Copies of this chain bind each other. A is one copy, B any other.
Amino acid sequence: MRTLRIALAQINCCVGDLAGNRDRILDGIRAAKAAGAQIAVFPELAVTGYPPEDLLLKPQFIVDGMSTLQEIAAAVEGICAIVGFAQRTGDTYNAAAVIAEAKVAAVYHKRLLPNYGVFDEARYFERGDGNAIFTLGDAAFGVTICEDIWRPGGPAEEQVAAGAQLLINISASPYYMAKGEERERMLATRAADHVAYFAYCNMVGGQDELVFDGHSVIYGPEGHLVARGKQFGEDLVVADLDLTAVTRARLKNPRGREPEQDDDEGEVARIVLGGEVTSPVEHVAATVAPVLDEADEVWAALCTGLRDYVRKNGFARVVLGLSGGVDSAIVACIAADALGSESVTCVFMPSEFSSQASREDAGALAANLGVDYRAIPISGTFAAYKDMLAEPFAGRAEDITEENLQARIRGNILMALSNKFGWLVLTTGNKSEMACGYATLYGDMAGGFAVLKDVPKTLVYRLARRVDERVGRTVMPERIITRPPTAELKPDQTDQDTLPPYEILDPILDAYIDEDMAPKDIAALGYDPEMVLRVVRMVDRSEYKRRQAPPGVKITTRAFGRDRRLPITNRYKG
């Protein structure tokens, strides 16, 4: 066999949905066979979904997942399938089954277990210590899992030394901005270093705070791109790999030979896969999907994260408060794009402080999007609260309490609509606000999913300016973008009464949150030291609020939630 046809099935698995994931995998196997592939590859933990978190501490869950793998194996004929699952054999392993002729021929155990950022794999898995290469006709390949290849050397290098021409990596790699580019660079380097084909199959879809971006790729032995799957969508990436190219390149390029003898090298088993193996007759040109630019990529990530949260949790409709400001406007646009405008209800909830501009712009946006739109004024209820609290508050001036009450009435309205009609409430706060605590707990923070939770305000504006271009018509009223941001909770309020301008705030937040820089080092970048300290204090003081925030899509390298884990009780001021 000179040419091996491989199919990478980047599928959208759902955590815990063993039967559904099985069916997606079986569909992928059928599609790969129909495409004439000899190997069908599925993502890391495709059987369980990723990350299953503490489901992995339920014995029955692992047993059920292993039974599901056997059901899949029984259906594999005339093709080799590589499927991620959780195996318990003595201990629990993040595992890849290599299946041929209706049997699991071998199981590879992940060796590098990430336990940083959003990852907690050391909580669940024992490291693997074995390695193997598989021969299929005269093709030889090795299998690794995700983190295994993010460090040079390791199991892939051992596989190459044992004769692998093709390195297959199954992955569930959570998205952040520009991660696809970083990953391609790394994979190109690995392929060139090992003078081998590198086939990388990633998960796709949203799971709580994570989005997997698909974007599976195959790189050739000289570090050249062979095929690329869609970003943020299911795809079957089919490519013909010319294995003689590996031999030709290795003869010319001895870099792959060990520079020195290394006796510590892991032992690599050699496993021969059975079944009839024939090279494809007609060459199929591999597809190379284009790469989205940064703003489109973020947009697609937000749509994917929202759509999958809504659908995988069984909701049919979302509801959100439309204030006339840019955050809620963008959330409405994302919801309409992700779910269809017929699945979105927007509610305008004016008080005495709401401007005519807000009313007009909210209404115009909703009309432009074609979403369901209602106005529910809150003044009567606000007055009732003030009456009710007149005695306990006697002699006290109005302050942020009354501002929060308005936000909480609005939160209650949306939750009441949710309770009555079964809709999912979307919150609209952005990362800059969540960082500074510029949000009302149980008010504008009330809801099931926080679409912009990890999107800094300056990026919200970038997204807002792209909306019309994206849909090819006027959707976003210009004034929503150009007027100064305001919470409209008291007369003549703007965000900048409380916060520095967002063009200054966002880089400070990035330095403090994403980069973990000390305040003095941030000030040394050219910011007013007092302002830096004020911002840092706001971030530290509002940890308790963020702890009660709904989940939202990770977009940056350091998202609030499972990614940045700080104590609430914390007296460090450094």
A527 contacts partner chain B, Cβ-Cβ < 8 Å: no
Chain B residues whose C-beta falls within 8 Å of the C-beta of A564 in the assembled complex: 54
Q: How many of these chains are in the complex?
A: 2
Q: Tell me if A385 is interfacial: C-beta within 8 Å of chain B.
A: yes
| Chain A 372-411 interface mask (CB, 8 Å, partner B; 1/0) | 0010111011011101110111001001110011001101
Interface residues of A in 430-448 (CB under 8 A from B): 441-442, 446, 448
A51 at the interface (CB under 8 A from B): yes
On whether A420 and B396 interact (CB within 8 A), knowing A550-B548, A567-B207, A569-B208, the answer reads yes
Task: Report yes or no: A55 in contact with B385, Cβ–Cβ below 8 A.
Answer: no
- What mask results when residues 480 to 506 of chain A are scored 1 for a CB within 8 Å of chain B, else 0? 000000000000000000000000000
CB of A465 closer than 8 Å to a CB of B: no
Interface contact B412-A442, CB-CB below 8 Å: yes
Question: A125 → chain B, closest Cβ, in Å?
Answer: 11
Chain A residues 1 to 17 lying within 8 A of chain B, measured CB to CB, are 14-17
Q: Please give me the residue from chain B that is nearest to A20 by CB atom.
A: B571
Q: With A51-B567, A567-B15 known to touch, is A572 a contact of B381 (CB < 8 Å)? A: no
A411 partner residues in chain B, CB cutoff 8 A: 442
Q: Is A120 an interface residue (CB 8 A)?
A: yes
Cβ contacts under 8 Å, A461 to chain B:
none
User: A56-64, A72-80, A93-101, A271-279: which one contacts chain B?
Assistant: A56-64
Flag whether A292 is at the interface (Cβ < 8 A): no
CB distance from A529 to the nearest CB of B (A): 15
A43: CB under 8 A from chain B?
A: no
Given the contacts A115-B115, A548-B550, A516 and B59 also touching, CB distance less than 8 Å: yes
Given the known A-B contacts A20-B571, A568-B313, A574-B61, are A389 and B404 also in contact in the complex, defined by CB atoms under 8 Å?
no
B380 near A565: Cβ-Cβ < 8 Å: no
A218 contacts B by Cβ under 8 Å: no
Bound CA span A310–B105, Å: 58
A interface residues, Cβ below 8 angstroms from B: 14-18, 20, 51-55, 57-61, 64, 115-116, 120, 122-123, 206-208, 308-309, 312-313, 374, 376-378, 380-381, 383-385, 387-389, 391-393, 396, 399-401, 404-405, 408-409, 411-413, 415-417, 419-420, 441-442, 446, 448, 516, 518, 521, 544, 547-551, 564-574
What 9 A-B pairs are tightest by C-beta distance, nearest first? A16-B572, A384-B384, A60-B518, A17-B571, A401-B419, A442-B442, A122-B122, A16-B570, A381-B384
